Amino acid sequence: MERPDYFLVDLPAEAECRPELVSAAAQTLKRNRELYLRDRPTRHTIADFCEVASRWLDPSYPLRQEALDLGAAKTGFSGPTLERGLDSWFQQINPASLDALIRQELGHSQRLDGFSAGDAERSGARMSLANGPELLVHFAAGNLPIPAFQSILLGLLARAAQFVKCASHAAALPRLFAHSIYEVSPKLGACLELAAWPGGDEPLESALFAEADCVTATGSDEALASIRRRLPPQVRFLGYGHRISFAFVAHEIARDPEAAAQTAHEAARDISAWDQQGCLSPHVIYVENGGRRLSEDFAGRLADAMACREQVEPRGPLSVSAAAAIAARRAFYEVRAAASPDTIIWFSPGSTAWTVVYEADPRFQPSCLNRFVYVKGVSDLVEALQAADSVRTCTSAVGLAAPAARQVPLATSIARWGATRICPIGQMQNPPISWRHDGRPALADLLTWSDWETPSTYAH
């Protein structure tokens, strides 16, 4: 369906993006922000955003249909994968969750609307107001769309004009999302710009950086370093680099056939979500053996669950090179399996759709992704965390399946070890809207406080 040209990304492919165009767009965004967004009450933005979300959840919404019709060729994901991924995010958007996000981050719902005081400030007769950046620039990653959506949401709440630089092959979904915002509120839409070019284009990016107050970027550590290097010193930078995730299954769960089967199905949902592309996707499932060979059993159950998942939510098509990575790794583990009983491999016959490798060796192994997962046996959580030490500083989420009585000690150990998110297996790719990305404040990191010491501060 033809859509009006609201954004640079709407222009035909042959229209070249030039530095002057980027500068002009950035300046327009800032003017629009001043007119429409800077003084707009937060509750209005929340209401508009909830309207956007409820439209996306309506199966007959044209933009949703268009997104699902983009197909695997444009998005890399099968329809069911895309549908589940989009729905899980939009379902989290409601007035209560957004208000909770602001209170979590700022202690008070009206922090962005005007001067207000928390308990500690009140005792000193002080007040404060949180201001967002004038122009917030996002460098969105190309692998999955939700982080870009989340960035746009946080930027709107921060009352920032936003310029989103999409990866050149991954602009289709952010573009439809931006159109839905424009549709609900042209004023909000006027404070948003989307463009796509291959990352590292210095003339375009310099023009953009010259206008920016804050830049967020999601991508490889190299891409982040390159952006950071080129930013003017006064520009705040928030980089979200390479992260991995894994899961831990307690022996009480693994030894109970029903709970183990259920957990395997939940794990399969986590592995299949966004075809394992996100930093919250598990690479390894550690299973506590409890003096038996529970991890091996669990791996078999997980293979069954992956096969079921493929039926309802097929994996997207792969490039030859990505398929070759899976084929070559499978062959490597076939050799290991031929040489030792400590390795077992299960995989989809006739395709690279899914692969489960069981290994007795607990050392963490990064997956080649696209639904390729390791199951490793450990004697307890301590051994799992030791085995994952090589990825401690880049671990994002740890999925946990354990009986209620063990949840607190296990979660505490995982948190002390350094993981920034602990969640039930089955929810790994579905963090709440108020999730602190990489352990940092979600919204507060974007803001700058203005403290007001009122005359009565010094009255005594």
Partner 1 sequence: MHNRLIQFAGRLRSMIGESAGSDLPSESAGRAGEEDRFNELALDLFDCHFELNPVYRRFCTNRGVESGRLADWRQIPALPSSAFRACAITCLDPGEWTAEFRSSGTTDASPARHYHCPESLALYRESIWPWFRQNVRPGLVPGAADPPRVLSLIPSFADAPHSSLACMIDSILERLGARDAVRAGRVDRAGAWALDIASATAALDAGQAEGRPLLILGTAIAFVQLLEAIESAGALYRLPPGTRIMETGGYKSRARTFSRPALVRRLERAFGVPRTHVVGEYGMCELSSQGYTRPVPMAAPSSGGDSPPRSAGMPVWHDSPALPFFRFPPWARVRIRSPETGELAGSREPGLIEVVDLANVASVLALQTLDLGRLDLEGVELIGRARDAEPRGCSRLMVETV
CA dihedral sign, ordered 183, 184, 190, 192? negative
Asked if 73 touches partner 1 (CB under 8 A), the answer is no
Contact window for partner 1 (CB under 8 A) among 32-40, 266-274, 313-321, 404-412: 313-321
Q: How many residues bind partner 1 (CB under 8 A)?
A: 29
Of 35 and 328, which has the nearer Cβ to partner 1? 328
- CA 276 – CA 143 distance, rounded (Å): 10
Strands 282-288 and 372-378: parallel
- Return the DSSP state at 314: P
d(C-alpha 412, C-alpha 396), whole Å: 15
Kindly write down the DSSP assignment for every residue of 185-206, as one continuous string. Answer: -HHHHTTEEEEE--TT-HHHHH
Least separation in angstroms between residue 129's CB and partner 1 is 48
Q: Which stretch binds partner 1 (CB under 8 A): 37-45, 71-79, 315-323, 406-414?
A: 315-323
Alpha-carbon distance 167 to 138, whole Å? 11
37, 313, 43, 298: which is closest to 186 by C-alpha? 37
At 385, give phi and psi (nearest 5°). Answer: -70, -35
Q: Which of residues 342-401 bind partner 1 (CB under 8 A)?
A: 342, 350-352, 361, 363, 365-366, 368
Considering beta carbons, is residue 57 or 337 the nearer one to partner 1? Answer: 337
Can you tell me which of 96, 120, 339, 405 binds partner 1, judged by CB under 8 A? Answer: 339
Q: Which stretch binds partner 1 (CB under 8 A): 93-101, 234-242, 260-268, 327-335?
A: 327-335
Choice between 160 and 306, CB closer to partner 1: 306
Q: Which of 318, 414, 444, 446 binds partner 1 (CB under 8 A)?
A: 318
> Which among 348, 140, 310 is positioned nearest to 238, based on CA atoms?
140
What CA–CA distance (Å, rounded) separates 148 from 172? 12
Of 153, 326, 397, 444, the one binding partner 1 (CB under 8 A) is 326
Residue from the set 74, 108, 336, 436 that interacts with partner 1 by CB under 8 A: 336
- Residue 220 contacts partner 1 per CB under 8 A: no
For 320, half-sphere exposure in the C-beta direction (CA atoms, 13 angstrom radius) is 0
For partner 1, which is the closer residue by CB, 325 or 423?
325
Query: What's CA 271's distance to the chain center, in Å?
Result: 14
Residues within the interface to partner 1 (CB under 8 A): 318, 320-321, 323-329, 331-332, 334-342, 350-352, 361, 363, 365-366, 368
